[in-house]
Amino acid sequence: MKIHWWEFQPDLHESHSQADTPVLCMQGIPRNDVRIPPTLPRRGAGPPQKSKIRGVKQVLVVASGKGGVGKSTVAANIALSLLSTSSSSSRPRIGLLDLDIFGPSVPKLMGLENAGDVELTDASRLIPLQNHGIQTMSIGYLLPPNPANDSPVVWRGMMVMKAVQQLLFDVDWTSGGNDLDVLVIDMPPGTGDVQLSLGQLVVVDGAIIVSTPQDVALIDARKGVGMFRKVDIPIIGLLLNMSHFTCGSCTTQHELFGSAAKFESAALDLGLPILGRIPLVPSVSDGGDAGRPIMVQSSPDGEEVRECMGNIGSTVWHWLARQPASQAGTRG
């Protein structure tokens, strides 16, 4: 059964006009009523009960304090690196969930922009789309077809949170196989409602904070670390992206976005390990634009990145393997 769509009509009590919101919403999200019961508890209420996501053994969050640091590209390549890190004979099942409602990147990065409609199970659960061996889900699959790829999501906060809850709990990750071993969640940048709701609603086994060497990125990365610690999400470590560029002619490394020393100092201050230093390589961005992440390429200039991502995947896999099993109930 394919998913159905309706044109989103703003609530009559909203101050903006219908023309302000030319977007669609998926089945299950109210079409014209933004008065949804709040996700977060009201003052005086106890904290919501954290739940495990049905069909998912462990959850790994990839986050950043600010946009533009390559977080989504890193998330996609970490998911792919986890496919080859298991010590068992069977290949692990890995999923990639795009929770960046306003700027979804997973469809483009994973070569699934034109994959067609998302279908529903008989129980009205979303069936993930798959490519490169990864099960994926994104709000980008649920937007109206647009060759220019410029359809905005113009939703108020409660609509966004309703969509986030559906992406978290209404996806059939077991479709076509067993439970996912790891679900990698690509978070929106910053420390807003989505991050807070995830920390309060879902059992998250570990988080990775992605940054670049610039001061503005490091300042926001520190805020991200503080937020995850407040909601008791364990942080595996920091990852430095675009750390340097190696000249093809003279093989000299150039730190185009600033010295890595500041990043190393920040990691030391925060008491967190550095998981890797990913260089700036043209084939990374070119492959992302073509729907072929660097981990599925064989380009010579990407060898250093593939080696780095492979080491990160191995570190993350073994870190997750040491985590105690959660006793929380399952939702979804």
- For the chain, domains (ranges, CATH) are 52-322 (3.40.50.300)
Tell me the CA distances in angstroms from 104 to 68, 211, 322, one per residue in order.
13, 19, 31
pTM across the whole model: 0.84
Residues 273, 238 contacting (CB under 8 angstroms): yes
Segment 102-140, tens digit of pLDDT: 999 999 999 998 888 899 999 999 999 999 999 999 999
- The pLDDT, as a whole number, for residue 43 is 57
Segment 285-310, tens digit of pLDDT: 899 999 999 999 998 888 999 999 99
Band the pLDDT of 25: cuts 50, 70, 90: very low
- The pLDDT, as a whole number, for residue 6 is 38
- The pLDDT, as a whole number, for residue 312 is 96
Instruction: Answer whether residue 48 shows pLDDT above 80.
Output: no
Instruction: Answer whether residue 268 shows pLDDT above 90.
Output: yes
Tell me the CA distances in angstroms from 223 to 67, 104, 227, one per residue in order.
13, 22, 6
